[in-house]
């Protein structure tokens, strides 16, 4: 288990970090994001940093594995791209993130979007990488050149994901300029993914099948934006077509189309995925490398080829960062123009001496972009992000606290100093609340099989109110807690973002919710409101664990808030615990299939007024934690017989 805080290395006083990389796909060798991340992980570990991976795939040391998620109707397109979506899982996020210094998210997918929200609730520094060009998506559906759709994707990426970060890592200046042009607010840091030390010039005997051929290599996923078709057309037009042998090192949805397109070539192209060691050997046998992509966020495969001494011919597309690797105009061809590409290929065939000279120059250029060097820049980014997070916090993306507190205060005005008609209204409201509570209880019973034990302990508060606390494992556990405490007057504390949720938000507003503050000014209002609620002998409900982790088994550390207010106002803590329980036969709810939920209410715990406030808070927090933990571990008997509903919970017939 990773522990909170930095580790100071004994070597040169270097600060070692606990880093978590989050991405949907990690084990796929044909995926550029996965390959680059694996390489960075290796180098980070070599520097002494602790690195953990949260992704799909096979179990491994320091890897937390989540399930894959199928996308209805479109899964065949996802499979064709060799990609997998990861399924969000609150417990897995917590397992991976607990104790980390920084979380690095790599893609604007639902998995990373949810993960960022969890990391934010846990108070952990986050950064993101921009690896996915919109064209990587739109070319797959035949809309790669539709600027309106591509711009919409850029905007959606920012709206739903990238606006939540102080820093965005990008692998090239080209993509940095694209984000700046679209008003991405974060600081954008350009750091190459770097090339592995394994790619280098080596002596290797040329494959006998290629001995008399001019071998042109193109590496990458076989997809529309990569434009392998241009190379096929260029060779068809070349006077050297009988001499040229193409090798497409990769897999993808365009393979059948490319095979059909290549039927008239004198030498049929080779389509094959090569493991890394074999790819190095192939690059050292090849005579020329072609990178024809219309859209490329960096082009590491081109950099790898250069590191092996291959001269590249690169598309000059404005959306391809790879063109920046060129050392001569003879290494660039007009984007989308097969004739221009054919001309460049013929130039290098006709000028072997110049090709040999530039081979050394390109290898030297690539050598300056080794991953061992670029990873140092990545570590500097992590350190800067942690410092900024401590100083400035997260970018503000949550709903307005002031707006919610104003609405809450307006609702409260109905109950302040009621006149004669107000008493009637107040009476009717109380009766309506009782009816609502019973109806809600029936619904929760049918949906979740809610049973409450220990209601008699509520009376021990002697109508003086207090603070109820409970572990947080379900979207509806606020409603369950409200029903468990009914008919007492209860006020809930919740994140402002929860109030904006489609259904749950409306329920929370009915439950009388105080939004948690995200600024110093709103914190003063928050404290004042809580204190007023307690002085009016209401019960204020806290989830001291903080964030929701669905169906989490166990109890997480408590935050101080609830115990500060209890100590300050000399109010009791009412410990509660919610458990997900199955019957002895493993059955769930007969109607909905949902597990049963039991709520246990313990006896009130009072602050020790003889202690200093700081020690009293810690003492009350520790006793409360032990009480809730005891309730969670309480032995219960779940009957398998037919049950009927009572106001006190379930009872066997």
39-53, 512-526, 617-631: which has the minimum mean pLDDT? 512-526
Higher pLDDT, 644 or 526: 526
110-114, 292-296, 481-485: which has the minimum mean pLDDT? 481-485
244 pLDDT above the threshold of 80: yes
Q: What is the pLDDT of residue 651?
A: 43
Per-residue confidence band for 553, with pLDDT thresholds at 50, 70 and 90: confident
| Beta pairing partners, 579 | 598
Q: What is the pLDDT of residue 489?
A: 75
Identify whether the C-beta of residue 186 lies closer than 8 Å to the C-beta of residue 395: yes
Residue range 208-368, CATH number? 3.40.50.2000
pLDDT tens digits, residue range 414-431?
333 334 445 676 666 666
pLDDT tens digits, residue range 376-386?
999 999 999 99
How many Å apart are CA 527 and CA 523, to the nearest integer?
A: 6
Fold match between domain 7-194+374-392 and domain 208-368: yes
3-state secondary structure of 601: strand
Among all chains, which residue has been given the structure tokens 């928050």?
526
Per-residue confidence band for 98, with pLDDT thresholds at 50, 70 and 90: very high
Task: Identify the top-confidence range among 332-336, 486-490, 498-502.
Answer: 332-336
Per-residue confidence band for 136, with pLDDT thresholds at 50, 70 and 90: confident
Residue 280, C-beta contacts closer than 8 angstroms, at least 6 positions apart? 198, 199, 200, 202, 308
Alpha carbon separation from 111 to 68, 274, 598 (Å, rounded)? 10, 29, 30
Q: What is the pLDDT of residue 133?
A: 92
Q: What is the pLDDT of residue 485?
A: 87
Per-residue confidence band for 411, with pLDDT thresholds at 50, 70 and 90: very low
Question: Mean per-residue pLDDT for 296-307?
Answer: 95
Higher pLDDT, 290 or 638: 290
pLDDT tens digits, residue range 150-176?
999 999 999 999 999 999 999 999 999
1-10, 48-57, 345-354, 528-537: which has the minimum mean pLDDT? 1-10
Among all chains, which residue has been given the structure tokens 């509570």?
437
Higher pLDDT, 113 or 651: 113
Mean pLDDT of the chain: 85
Q: CATH for 7-194+374-392, among 1.10.3720.10, 3.90.800.10, 3.40.50.2000, 3.30.429.10? A: 3.40.50.2000
Percent of the chain exceeding pLDDT 70 equals 83
Specify the length of the chain in residues: 653
The β-bridge relationship of strands 125-129 and 102-105 is: parallel
CA 202 to chain centre: 40
Identify whether the C-beta of residue 529 lies closer than 8 Å to the C-beta of residue 492: no
How many Å apart are CA 492 and CA 488, to the nearest integer?
A: 12
Kindly report the number of other CB atoms within 10 A of residue 650's CB atom: 18
Question: Mean per-residue pLDDT for 222-246?
Answer: 96
The model's pTM is 0.78
DSSP string of 344-407, one letter each residue: HHHHHHH-HHHHHHHHHHHHHHHHTTBHHHHHHHHHHHHHHHHHHHHHH-S---SPPHHHHHHH
339 pLDDT above the threshold of 50: yes
Q: What is the pLDDT of residue 500?
A: 65
Q: What is the pLDDT of residue 586?
A: 47
3-7, 21-25, 161-165: which has the minimum mean pLDDT? 3-7
pLDDT tens digits, residue range 394-410?
987 744 333 444 444 44
pLDDT tens digits, residue range 261-296?
999 999 999 999 999 999 999 999 999 999 999 999
Q: What is the pLDDT of residue 385?
A: 97
Gyration radius (Cα) of the chain, Å: 31
Task: Provide the H-helix boundaries in 167-275.
Answer: 173-181, 228-237, 255-261
Q: CATH for 419-652, among 3.40.1130.10, 3.40.190.10, 3.40.50.2000, 2.60.120.10? A: 3.40.1130.10
Q: What is the pLDDT of residue 157?
A: 96
Among all chains, which residue has been given the structure tokens 């066997």?
652
Query: By CB neighbour count within 10 A (0-12 exposed, 13-18 middle, 19+ buried), where does 421 fall?
Result: exposed
Q: State phi, psi for 264 to the nearest 5 degrees.
A: -90, 0
Name the residue ranges covered by the structural domains of the chain. 7-194+374-392, 208-368, 419-652
Alpha carbon separation from 326 to 312, 320, 330, 333, 363 (Å, rounded)? 8, 12, 9, 11, 12
Among all chains, which residue has been given the structure tokens 């081109």?
302
Question: Mean per-residue pLDDT for 595-615?
Answer: 93
Q: What is the pLDDT of residue 504?
A: 61
7 pLDDT above the threshold of 50: no
122 pLDDT above the threshold of 60: yes
Phi/psi-derived region of residue 138, left when phi > 0, alpha when psi is between -120 and 50, beta in every other case:
alpha
Q: First and final CA of the chain: distance in angstroms?
A: 47
Per-residue confidence band for 219, with pLDDT thresholds at 50, 70 and 90: very high
Per-residue confidence band for 142, with pLDDT thresholds at 50, 70 and 90: confident
Q: What is the pLDDT of residue 479?
A: 81
């Amino acid at each position: 288990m990773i522990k909170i805080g930095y580790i100071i290395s004994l070597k040169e006083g270097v600060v070692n970090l606990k880093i978590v990389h989050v991405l949907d796909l990690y084990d796929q060798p044909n995926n550029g994001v996965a390959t680059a991340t694996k390489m960075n992980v290796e180098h980070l570990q070599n520097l002494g940093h602790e690195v953990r991976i949260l992704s799909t795939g096979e179990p491994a040391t320091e890897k937390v594995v989540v399930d894959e998620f199928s996308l209805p109707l479109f899964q065949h397109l996802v499979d064709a791209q060799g990609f997998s979506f990861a399924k969000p899982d609150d417990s897995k996020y917590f397992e991976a993130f607990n104790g980390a210094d920084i979380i690095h998210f790599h893609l604007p997918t639902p998995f990373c979007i949810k993960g960022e929200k969890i990391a934010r609730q846990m108070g952990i520094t986050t950064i993101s990488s921009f690896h996915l060009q919109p064209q990587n998506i739109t070319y797959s559906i035949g809309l790669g050149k539709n600027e309106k759709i591509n711009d919409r994707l850029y905007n959606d990426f920012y709206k739903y994901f990238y606006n939540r970060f102080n820093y965005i890592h990008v692998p090239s200046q080209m993509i940095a300029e694209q984000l700046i042009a679209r008003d991405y607010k974060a600081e954008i840091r350009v750091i190459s993914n770097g090339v592995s030390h394994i790619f280098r010039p080596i002596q290797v005997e040329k494959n006998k099948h290629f001995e008399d051929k001019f071998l042109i290599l193109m590496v990458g996923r076989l997809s529309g934006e990569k434009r392998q078709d241009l190379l096929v057309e260029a060779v068809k037009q070349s006077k050297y077509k009988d001499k040229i042998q193409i090798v497409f090192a990769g897999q993808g949805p365009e393979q059948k189309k490319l095979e059909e397109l290549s039927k008239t070539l004198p030498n049929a192209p080779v389509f094959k995925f090569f493991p890394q060691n074999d790819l190095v050997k192939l690059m050292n046998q090849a005579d020329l490398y072609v990178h024809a992509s219309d859209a490329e966020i960096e082009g590491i495969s081109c950099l790898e080829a250069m590191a092996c001494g291959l001269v590249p011919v690169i598309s000059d597309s404005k959306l391809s960062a790879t063109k920046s690797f060129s050392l001569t105009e003879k290494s660039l061809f007009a984007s989308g123009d097969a004739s221009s590409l054919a001309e460049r290929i013929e130039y290098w065939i006709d000028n072997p001496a110049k090709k040999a000279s530039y081979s050394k120059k390109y290898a030297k250029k690539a050598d300056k972009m080794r991953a061992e060097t670029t990873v140092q820049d990545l570590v500097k980014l992590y350190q800067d992000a942690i410092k900024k997070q401590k100083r400035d916090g997260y970018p503000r993306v949550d709903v307005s606290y002031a707006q919610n507190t104003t609405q809450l205060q307006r609702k409260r005005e109905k109950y302040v100093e009621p006149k004669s008609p107000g008493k009637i209204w107040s009476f009717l409201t109380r009766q309506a609340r009782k009816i609502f509570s019973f109806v809600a209880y029936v619904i929760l019973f049918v949906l979740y099989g809610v049973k409450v034990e220990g209601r008699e302990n509520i009376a021990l508060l002697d109508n003086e109110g207090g603070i109820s606390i409970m572990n947080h494992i379900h979207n509806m556990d606020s409603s369950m807690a409200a029903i468990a405490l009914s008919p007492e007057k209860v006020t809930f504390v919740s994140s402002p973002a929860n109030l904006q949720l489609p259904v749950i938000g409306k329920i929370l507003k009915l439950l009388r919710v105080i939004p948690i503050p995200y600024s110093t000014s709103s914190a003063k209002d928050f404290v004042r409101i809580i204190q007023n609620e307690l002085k009016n002998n209401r019960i204020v409900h806290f989830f001291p664990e903080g964030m929701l982790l669905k169906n989490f088994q166990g109890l997480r550390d408590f935050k101080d808030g609830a115990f500060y207010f209890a100590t300050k106002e000399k109010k009791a803590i009412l410990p509660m615990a919610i458990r997900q329980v199955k019957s002895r036969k493993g059955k769930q709810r007969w109607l909905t299939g949902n597990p049963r939920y039991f709520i246990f209410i313990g006896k009130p715990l009072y602050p020790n007024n003889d202690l200093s406030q700081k020690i009293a808070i810690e003492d009350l927090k520790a006793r409360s934690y032990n009480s809730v933990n005891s309730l969670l571990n309480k032995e219960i008997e779940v009957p398998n017989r037919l049950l009927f509903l009572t106001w006190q919970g379930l009872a066997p017939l």
